[in-house]
Structure 1
């Protein structure tokens, strides 16, 4: 009886300490998938690491024939590293797993069960986030609620990249080649049959997170501007409200001068009004600039990423961008299209 294929895609940047701890857990799970009629493979994507990550990955590949390696020419960021890995899965499903060990690979059999039941996007929803400070947990909680209200694209709350994508979901995702990529939004935009698995997120296996608050802020800004024009509309409403208040205040100043001969307001009042209106205008211009900057990046049509080394494992194809996809979640997708 032919087996289905599952490729575990792991994007890593300076994770040389955590990968030796993570891979044995993945390998043990893949061995158990045989009983579910699934053959498992692992594809590690080195996103231009500057530590010993690539050497560690080479060692893992030498000791396990199921391991494929992809090394990018430089650090392109996690979103593009995930895109590069998913582009090279043209058969079977793909499961995305973080390299830090916080998302438990032991849940993979449950993901596979739901895939075999016909679901296309099975995502893990975090109930508890161990190893993270209260500020990071609070800001992450707020971000998912804000983008959930601003965006028409369904983006599940408290859900990261830990998910399984069926062949047709992968094929649909491969058609989305925008440069500014917020993967959680792209997963939601694809749609199809979706379900979630609640889980307990563990602390990092080793090392420290590469996402500081500045990078998380930029990621949040990327997500909001990629999947919502609400900030532009807010700037419009704010401008209209400010103009209305200014008009009403102007009528009041004129009425006071005509009725009571009230003197013109002094320098402090004038400066306060000028600074307020100037701040509103600069905020509006900044919002417009964010969207124009994204249009500028898209117009250049540069490749999403460049590959330095590509060493596929058995069952992981070198084809770059599968497209198309139809039918049931468990059905193989058509392949073809242009390279990344």
Structure 2
């Protein structure tokens, strides 16, 4: 852990230097091809940074915030597009706007979403605490494989959302601005289109649409967001596992993309009446959960990522307990 913390400090210093270069040097270069060329070293650095971290959490978080989010935002910045243009008033704001999902334009409606769901957040914290208790007592070792796969899939989603909520709360206190909501209760989706368009990874419209979707749609009109998702998740899997991909995650997103396209065509052609919202929600959640347990989690278990993830969570709990008792 001491070695990992040293690596983390080096990564943080590298990020500060890289973002400083973007803010003080690249921003002075005229937008377009020349600024894009000046940012290429930063793109490469952010692609390599997760490889210097062995912790599952540090690796996945750096891959999401730097390799994926920051690189796409800097790509937009190269052509003087939002959210980094116009240039933020200070380096600290530019750093946070680059690496985190911060909203440049405040939208009160999205704030109401989070205000209404505080009790939902509390229930997720309780459920996550229960899962950690389950891990701590080693009850999970006696569970059947399918049951543990289901629990672990829920764990990954809840922890990811809680991390984003924590980051959002910290940035809100630090800068006084809201973060872009990444999830909007995806388990309440009434259709696959609703899941991918409005409830899962809401950063897609603001980041991937101008950088990936619009250019690709010029050549392939039926391209959709779920097909872009496998680019990010395959990278995250590689960073965590450090082995050649087995393409299960790719199959997951391709399958979801095909099903979403079929759903859109069925709606357009009105081949069948729309089911009741309760039925459609149950069907969507069941499909998403089953495919995640089938294609998402097994690769992690085969490479013992679940053991590393659980041990890191329990280590943090032990540190917090030791600190509380010491005080």
* Structure with the larger strand share: 1
* Structure with the larger helix share: 2
Q: Which gives a bigger RCO, structure 1 or 2 (Cα 8 Å, sep 6+)?
A: 1
**Greater gyration radius:** 1
